[in-house]
Chains A and B, each alone.
Chain A
Amino acid sequence: MTTTQQQTTALPTGTWELDGVHSSIGFAVRHSGVMTFRGTFGDYDARIADGRLEGRAQVASVQVDDENLAAHLQSPDFFDAERHPEIRFSGRETRLDGDRITIAGELTVKGETRPVELVGVATGPVVDGYGKNRLGLDLEARIDRNDFGVSWNAELPTGDRMLDDEVVLTANLALVEA
């Protein structure tokens, strides 16, 4: 390793901006009881300022591999993009244990704000190939979508429901010191 790596005890100070090319955010939910369905958001931003992670995603930018599903996700049955165009996360408190990170904060989806914990792995900072300080966060949060009013479901012929209540939100963030 030629890069320098230092152990952090909290999110670093200063301002860290998103490298959108090398980042992604999305969601995953159990579908039909047998598999995991994933979607991503194309238009989003995240940054660390004063040791706090903030993020937002535009509902209109949801990306799934079917235009009808994409349109349905925008509607009041799901995210209700007309009334609530943005999903937001605001970090409050960060805990680090080795490279394991927990960021407690507040998530706003469909106008509902609830406390959530993002958990995962923090890597770096390292000096990247361009001489910039770079930090990686691989985070996920498990939420009950009903808490945010995203409650659409359909009954399967077996009587089971098509979509799980639990949704895993994922954020794989590359952040570069400004």
Chain B
Amino acid sequence: MTPLRVLALSGSLRSGSHNTELLRAAAAAAPAGIELELYEGVKQIPPYDADDDGGADRQPEAVRRLRAALARADAVLVATPEYNSSLPGVLKNALDWVSRPLALSPVRNKPAAVLSSSTGGFGGVWAAAETRKVLGALGARVLEDTVAVPQARERLAGGVDDELAEQLRVVVEALAAEVREREAAAAA
């Protein structure tokens, strides 16, 4: 049976990112039959400029790679930190590129979920809400299922514990259930 593919996008670029760690932990916690691919090319995506946007198949190479990875995926899992009460520019920029043109967005109708973490007390919930809003605008089937990790420095000091891994597994399972429902509807 073909594994169900989830593309994992981190809104944080730094190597020790808590959010990237959440995605790696989600990959490890995913049940058999679900593969999470951590997308590594967000940093290479240039700032959006309509002058460089020649259409879905004529965008810069780094954007086309992301488009292709999203097109291959059955679902999308984003983990985002919170910058100034919202999602980071690099993440928004990547999503803006793949939203053009909107009717050809590779996340269109794809199940998507958003995780967040922050070193503060709220776990990036506003950034997650904004990211959900943006994914909805791109046409994704956005789930409310989420995990928000506050005080991430302390909480993740010893890595992702079993309780958190279980919460991540639940979100991945929810994505998978939505993918299966979509496939069943398409086959009907």
Contacts and interface: CB of A to CB of B under 8 A. Distances in A.
B101 interface: yes
Interface string B132-146: 000011111110000
B136 A75 contact: yes
Interface in B133-188: 136-142, 182, 185
Nearest to B181: A83
- Contact-residue bracket for chain A: 10 to 19
Nearest to B109: A82
A74 B185 contact: no
A67 B105 CA distance: 13
Contacts of B108: 71, 75
B139 A83 contact: no
A37 interface: no
Given A67-B101, A71-B103, A76 B139 contact: yes
A68 B185 CA distance: 25
Given A83-B185, A152-B136, A75 B109 contact: yes
A160 B109 CA distance: 29
B136 A68 contact: no
A152 B108 CA distance: 16
Contacts of A82: 109, 182, 185
A68 B141 CA distance: 17
Interface string A63-96: 0000110111011110010110000000000000
